[in-house]
Structure 1
Amino acid sequence: MRLRATLLYTTAIFGAASVAAPSLAQVADDPAVDAEQTDGDERSGGIPTIVVTAQKREQSVQDVPISLQVVTGESLQNMQIAGVEDLAGSLPNVFVTKDTVSSNVYIRGVGSGSNAGFEQAVATFVDGVYHGRSRYTQSAFVDVERVEVLRGPQSIYFGNNAIGGAFSVVTRTPSLSNWEGSIQASYEFEGNEPAVEAGVGGPLIEDKLGIRVAGRYSDLDGFITNGVIGQDNPNVEDKFIRGTMVAEFGDAWQATFKAEYGKQDSIAPLAVQLTNCPPEPPFNAAATFSCGFALATGQETELDYNRSANPGEFGDIEAQEYVFTLEKDNLNGPGIVFQAAISKYDFFLAADTDGVAADFFSFNTFESVNQKTLETRFTSPRDFPVEVIFGGYYLDTGTTINTTLNFPFATVLLAGPLAPLAPFAPLAGDISLDQQEEAMSLFGSVTVPLGETFSVTGGLRYTHSRKQGLQSATNATANDPFGLTVTPLPAALQPVAAFLTGFNTHTTLGIVEDDAFLPSVSVQFEPTDDLTLYAKFSEGFKAGGLDAVELTGIADRLTFEPETVDSYEIGLKAFLFDRNLSFNIAAFRSDYSDLQQSVAQFTATSAFITIANVGGLRTQGIETGLVWQITDNLQFGADVAYLDAAYQDYANAGCTALQALQAQNAGQVGCSQNLTGEAPPFAPSYSGNIRLGYETPIGDSLKLTVDGAMNFSGGYHVIADRDPNTFQSAWEKFDLRVGIGDYDDRWGVAFVGRNLGNTLVVGSANDVVASAGSYTQQVQRGRTLAIQANFKFK
């Protein structure tokens, strides 16, 4: 049985219509507090049960009516997964990729797209604290207990805006009984990336007071070659440290204080490359600016791991967070949780996005977030016949966003009526938003058992949000290639410049105030300990807001409406064959109304992003997961998701480059297309993975572990206008880990290879300003080959 227990530590265990971890990672279930693994059912052995608190109370994973997955922190380390983007590449129906002013975060085809004014439809929570901005949790997973991925709206038990799903990150806390720690060092050869992570903690006063300190350092040299400067991009140096203190007092009280700080410094973090040059007809007759320059200089423009860009691109992310949590166990009376958190996050990016070594088009963007949250939660005593949870939540956030678009290429156009602008070249457009948000909510749920095998849970959340912001835009002179500082144009020249850039000088006050009542009901039937069936209905809500990059100054265009969803899910979770096989399946359907969608618009001389409320989106499908313990030494896992997502009413979508050209040739002012019935971005019809894990002894004290996985996806669009030239075709990626260590996992060495076939996958794409028919695209990280060594003590 020793081998079985060890193998299960690197395996996949499922709850709900779950999916697999990256390789045969240990998978549990839940977003919130604790998870513990039992040793399995003593009657039958096999795959052990996972105890979680996904609904703010302890439950077996089989009892949680949610399609979710949990990946352990040790699995993240073993497979060299350093952040959400790396993790998402292994999860069906989950996509996270970098883009310009914000990232793309999608689950089941639902996401907000790239606009800094958005809180993401897929929210992130770290130890229960809301991180709504897409790059808020950019730093590495450090000393993580587990990461939970929940699909579909999470309306009742989460604090804010998780209408499409949620990532919940739970960090390790100190033991109060013994000192323990670990250190892992690795080197990845393709990106020349050394990394080291360590954590140590234990009691200062046994059973009373404990402390844990953890940190990580890595330095990625890059995986895309910039031929202009002879360097690899992106170059990312990542530093992170966290300290956690836990104190227990009285019979059931515990206080936790956590402080953490992270800093990420990058060179060319948005490493885009020019593609589709020369463009196909009817664009090829006018290959100007970026594409014309590339053709004249012989620049290679195939989609690969090479690019051309000017030096000077950089970015940085700095985040800090302080969390205090006071808890009382509900074993001998009501349970109480009080949490207060202060978070600060700053993000900056300066990028050359014309795709060539010339000053044609670039931008910079800055985002600063200061957030305070409070949450209080009460639970009924464990021996109470009806399970009751209720509480309140408060959020106060101040956000500053500034974006500058630079148009050096337009200098050649400054003649005739535009000649007065020539002395002020190169032109730029400067946009800013200062916003304050207050949100509060009250929530509760009641679970009523109806006999020994049937139960009903009803929940309700009331939420109120108010956002007030001052948004402005102006035409300016860029004082450097990236517009890090600008000088506004004289007032008399602003209308002339607006004709060229699309920026109308303005300062507009916007106020958005929303309320919603969100009901949820689920029923569960458990005829045996090894079989659970459930059905669930819930409503979701995401507050309206202000467009951070609105250019026109038209007051009605500054704000956008909230989005809502009605979501249905049914599922089955089963253990079979003496718990040697776990099988789960869930079918879902979600109908979104007024979906907040980011729309990129490109004119002959400008680029801008607007926000529109799409009339409707329906996303439906099936998610399955299977784990089979074939022998004590061998385990097989597979996950497959089918997705059918389509807009129900989207008549005013942004145009493709070809449609915009056709409208221009026809003398039309503006351009839109009808995408009703079409799929949103990052919504392949199928995705999944297949995994195999094997373990065998070597001599009397060592073991060999081999974990392999194939991750796959059908084709999908990466931008909202569904331009066929940026369609990502179906792909497969193969991962392998081979490790040798001792039976007690005190030390080990391993080789880890991810995406061994070096499959090229596009993460984001955009039209090239003033070079219609060509595109800039960013590829995700390709093959990685790493060696790692780890040591643990306890």
Structure 2
Amino acid sequence: MSRFTQTKMTFIRKPLAIAIGIAAAQLSALTAAQGLEEIIVTSQKRAENLQEVPLSVATISGEKLESAGIENLGDLTLHMPNIHFTETGLSTQVRVRGIGSDNSQGFEQSVGMYLDGVYYGRAQLFRSPMMDMERAELLRGPQSTLFGKNSIAGALNLTSALPTHDFEARASVSQELEFNTTELNGMLSGGLSDNVQARLAIRHLTDDGYMYNSYLDADQPERTEDSARLSVTWQASDNLDIYVKAEQHTFETTGRAIEITQDEVLASSPYGLTYNEVLQGVLSRPGFESETDLIRQADTAEHSDNTINNFTFKADYALGEHTVTWITGLLDFSYNELCDCDFVPADIVPVELNEDYEQTSHEIRIASPMGETVEWLAGAFIQNYDQVFDDQINLAEGNVLADTYPVLTNTGIRRDFEQSSTAWALFGRATWSISDAWHLTLGARYTEETKDATKEVNAVSLITDEVLSDPAIGSTYMGVFLVENNTAFVGADGTTPLMHAGYDVKGSRDESAFTPLINVEYDISGDMMMYGSFTTGFKAGGFDPRSNRVGLFDFRAANPAAPAPPAEEENPLQYFEFDNETANAMELGMKNTLADGRLELNFALYHTTYEDLQISQFDGGVGFNVGNAKETVVQGLEVDGRWLVVDNLTAFYGFSFLDFEYKDFENGNCFAGQTPNTDSDGDTIADACDYTGKRGVYTPEMTFNFSLDYVHSLGNNIDFISVLDWQHVGAHQVHVNLDPSGEIDGYNMMGLRLGLESNNWSVGILGKNLLDEKVVTYTGNAPLSDSQFGTNTHYSFVRRPMTIALEATYKY
């Protein structure tokens, strides 16, 4: 064992020893209490006590989701360690233990999200609002056996609230004071007959925005969100229960929470000026400021309009003592966006984006009865989807680049991407109780998937919408935006062959994977359990809509007399296609229920090796290149639990230590000003940077969570309630290309809810980010700032500052 590894393992053991020591020291101080309520989860597709599940799981109940004001996944991640959420200029990202998916509409997400058993695998779906939930579960580490091929970093298992037999109604209103955020929620639930129940939940939110656009004199991002969900349960017979759900979410946004936060001159600058100075002094355009102060300058009326529809059918049939479950999900979403993707008050890179996605999935499984010597579950899964994505940069008259390069006036550069997929899987899992103390679980999943995709990049006329064929236009786009396209087979002179040229490709993939699991559990006593597991993960490869490079795919076909490219570039889809990734994960954990059921102390040590991790990084122009990092290792420690201090005071705590390292990643995109030191495409020219030995983005070494829930009776059926939440996140990198200036300091997020509650009403005040931390959640380079202006200019997403909201709820 190396000295480095020994130091890391020693560092992991210290927090564990401290946590156990603190817990033991507190046992004698506990006053009489009834014990913690049991938490039921479905992380293994059975209803089980959380303390009996042999894997690292964090969960939040529906009541906690409501009391903490959790509206979406961004809010949820503030209450769980070792999970990170961020929005970027082009996508939404969630990471668990430092692993997630970068900017590309071609990626399935490494953190699988499952809502009522239906897979939500696309980045845009992470923006869905959360309302009227039963609970949220986070499963850390690869979850390929039961949840599927792409849950290679973890899984979010979300459960909506079910209809009730008795009539219930709830209406609530929340009014945030500083940014005029209004949220309305309503719910009706009850029996329609002796064996049919229904539940209707609706939500409406408006938000004026927390960032000021001083150029347009407007608060941004302004949001409007509307959601509706109707669910019905039917006890069709003594053996058959049916659940049907239909829901729709629409969310519209004007503007973005993006501001320029850095503007520095590079040694390669042709002007020796900052980007702001170039705009004002050279181009005579409005300037901008580059401070993290929630003030932005953007000249485009940006918008993002999204619609998500879902229909879910679930049937549970009692076949003797066994249970057969069938789940069908129909899911679609669409969005159209206009992005001011230069992020400055000048018309430079306006981008229109559109996507339509349709998915159908079916899962059938059979489960043995609980409590047997051998418990087992087996099933089959099939999923189909179709995806259409396009984006277009428009250079109309008056655009800075159109004025600089007149040949581009009233033209655009357009990507058209289509992809379809069919995947099926067989899976099974069995637990053998060798004795009262020893339990052995074996599981496996076999998956096959086919994908087909096409992509074109064309220069088009903004007047006629026709594809252009003038090589001067195509080669100019290639030089300015680094975009290979179908009008750039030859240079601007019309005769000189271009080595990297054209962009009209198609591809097919057919891949399979076998992902086994083994888990050994030892029950030390009825309240203490240890487990060790080894599991594997698989995430399918695919095709990238966002890359602006295609390689040498038909250079020789267009130019038969030209010299052959290097052997390393024989693959015609080198930049269009990316490989599958795999994982091998080991975990050692322990779950303890102490002090007569009043204290829980759980921990997990993990080590996971990822091969060919899928990476997407900014190319310095207006695109992102997708590739695979050969080997990545993540390892660390997670500690969590609950403590019922007294009957009316409960503490929740969590801690994570994360060690992340790229073991072999030589083909990373360089940050602005960095000197390339590796050759990524075999043409003997250094064009990439070696990331080996570095940490990735969103990998804080330490994360702490702590929460206190307090209830005090005031008499007359009125309770005073208090919920305090705190999270500390250590320093980490937020720049996609690992620019050292993208390292942010650690920060603390604190929330507090105070209120009064009776049997049928409640009022309260909810504060979020009470320390008013200005937290940068994502940083990238302003498009063209490096390649055209010679500056290292950053744009950043900044989290919402302190908010105070008044709340009122009526229940019947």
8 A contact 1:475–1:498 mirrored in 2? no
Deviation of 1:353 after TM superposition, in Å, equals: 2.5
Q: Which residue of 2 aligns with 1:264?
A: 251
Q: Cα–Cα, structure 1 residues 158 and 662, in superposed 2: closer, same or farther, change >3 Å? A: closer
Q: Which consecutive residues of structure 2, in runs of 5 or more, have no partner in the other structure?
A: 1-15, 17-31, 487-502, 554-571, 679-683, 786-790
Residue identity opposite 1:550 in structure 2? S
Q: For residues 712 and 758 of structure 1, what CA distance do their matches in structure 2 show?
A: 14
Check if 1:489 corresponds to 2:468: yes
- What aligned pairs does 1:210-609 form with structure 2 within 5 A after superposition? 210-268=197-255, 270-279=256-265, 286-287=272-273, 290=276, 292-293=278-279, 297=286, 299-329=288-318, 332-382=320-370, 384-406=372-394, 408-414=399-405, 422-478=406-462, 487-493=466-472, 494-503=474-483, 504-505=485-486, 506-553=503-550, 554=553, 555-557=572-574, 558-602=576-620, 606-609=621-624
Letter in 2 for 1:244: S
**Shift of residue 222 of structure 1?**
0.2
The separation in 2 between residues aligned to 1:517 and 1:627, in whole angstroms, is 37
CA shift at 1:556, angstroms?
2.1
1:711 maps to 727
Asked if structure 2 preserves the Cα contact closer than 8 Å seen for 1:156 and 1:460, the reply is yes
Match of 2:60 among 42, 63, 71: 71
Which residue among 641, 660, 667 is the counterpart of 1:652? 667
Q: Which amino acid aligns with 1:224?
A: M
Give me the TM-score of the superposition, normalised by structure 2.
Answer: 0.86
Shift of 1:286: 2.9
1:163 alignment partner, SS class: coil
Relative to structure 1, the CA distance from residue 303 to residue 670 in structure 2 (aligned partners, 3 Å threshold; closer, same or farther) is farther
1:549 CA displacement: 2.0
TM-score (norm 1): 0.88
Structure 1 counterpart of 2:713, one-letter code: P
- Work out whether residues 126 and 170 of structure 1, in 8 Å CA contact, stay in contact via their aligned partners in 2: yes
1:75 & 1:678 partners in 2: Cα distance?
A: 37
| 1:102–1:114 Cα contact (<8 Å) kept | yes
2:180: which partner in 1?
192
Residues 791, 291 of structure 1: alpha-carbon distance in 2 compared, 3 angstrom cutoff:
farther
Contact 2:43 2:157 in 1 (8 A): no
The amino acid that maps onto 1:556 is L
Q: What is the identity, as a one-letter code, of the residue corresponding to 1:53?
A: T
How many residues of Structure 1 are paired with residues of Structure 2 in the alignment?
730
Q: Distance in 2 between matches of 1:695 and 1:91?
A: 22
Question: Within 5 Å, which residues of 2 pair with 1:61-140?
Answer: 61-140=50-129
- Per the alignment, residue 716 of structure 2 pairs with 700
CA deviation after TM superposition for structure 1 residue 383, in Å: 5.7
Q: Distance in 1 between matches of 2:352 and 2:773?
A: 30
Identity %: 26
Match of 2:11 in 1: none
Structural mapping, 1:30-49, within 5 Å: 45-49=34-38
Computed over aligned residues only, the root mean square deviation of the Cα atoms, in angstroms, reads: 2.4
Structure 1 position 140, deviation (Å)? 1.1
Q: Give me the whole-angstrom Cα distance separating, in 2, the residues matched to 1:355 and 1:291.
A: 15
For the residues of structure 1 that align with 2:363 and 2:455, how far apart are their CA atoms?
30
Paired AA for residue 789 in structure 1 = A
Whether the 8 Å CA contact 1:288–1:770 is kept in 2: the answer is no
**Secondary structure at 1:594 match in 2:** strand
Shift of 1:52: 2.8
SS of equivalent to 1:87: helix
What's the secondary structure of 2:79's corresponding residue? Answer: coil
Q: Deviations over 1:414-452 (max 9, x none)?
A: 2xxxxxxx2441553211211110000000011100111
C-alpha displacement of 1:336: 0.2
Retained in 2: the 8 A contact 1:289–1:409?
A: no
- Say whether residues 1:639 and 2:630 are aligned partners: no
CA distance in 2, matches of 1:448, 1:645: 35
Distance 1:285 1:725 in 2: 22
Question: Is there any run of 5+ residues in structure 1 with no aligned partner, and where?
Answer: 1-16, 18-42, 415-421, 480-484
| Residues in 2 aligned to 1:156 and 1:90: alpha-carbon distance in whole angstroms | 27
Q: In structure 1, what residue type is equivalent to 2:806?
A: I
Deviation at 1:477, TM superposition (A): 4.4
The whole-number CA distance in structure 2 between the counterparts of 1:280 and 1:386 is 66
Query: How far apart are the structure 2 equivalents of 1:644 and 1:409?
Result: 45
C-alpha separation in 2, matches of 1:174 and 1:632 = 30
Specify which of 771, 790, 812 is matched with residue 757 of structure 1: 771
Residues 582-591 or 362-371, more deviating: 362-371
Deviates more, 1:756-765 or 1:509-518: 756-765
Q: 3-state SS of the aligned residue for 1:62? A: helix
Q: Which residue number corresponds to residue 28 of structure 1? A: none
Residues 718 and 477 (structure 1 numbering): CA distance in 2 closer, same or farther, change over 3 Å?
A: farther
Q: Would the aligned equivalents of 2:677 and 2:690 in 1 still touch at CA under 8 Å? A: no
Amino acid at match of 2:601: F
Q: Distance in 2 between matches of 1:153 and 1:255?
A: 30
Name the SS for the 1:488 alignment partner: coil
Asked if structure 1 preserves the Cα contact closer than 8 Å seen for 2:99 and 2:110, the reply is: yes
Change (3 A) 1:770 1:502: closer
**Contact kept? 2:366, 2:379, Cα under 8 Å:** yes
Q: Provide the C-alpha distance between the structure 2 equivalents of 1:104 and 1:367, rounded to a whole number of angstroms.
A: 17
Q: Which region of structure 1 is more displaced relative to structure 2, 644-653 or 670-679?
A: 670-679
Moved more, 628-637 or 291-300: 291-300
Higher mean C-alpha deviation, range 129-138 or range 692-701: 692-701
Alpha carbons 1:290, 1:360 under 8 Å: kept: no
1:715 and 1:475 map into 2 onto residues whose CA distance is 43
Residue identity matched to 1:622: L
Deviates more, 1:650-659 or 1:493-502: 493-502
Could you tell me how far apart the structure 1 residues matched to 2:139 and 2:462 are? 44
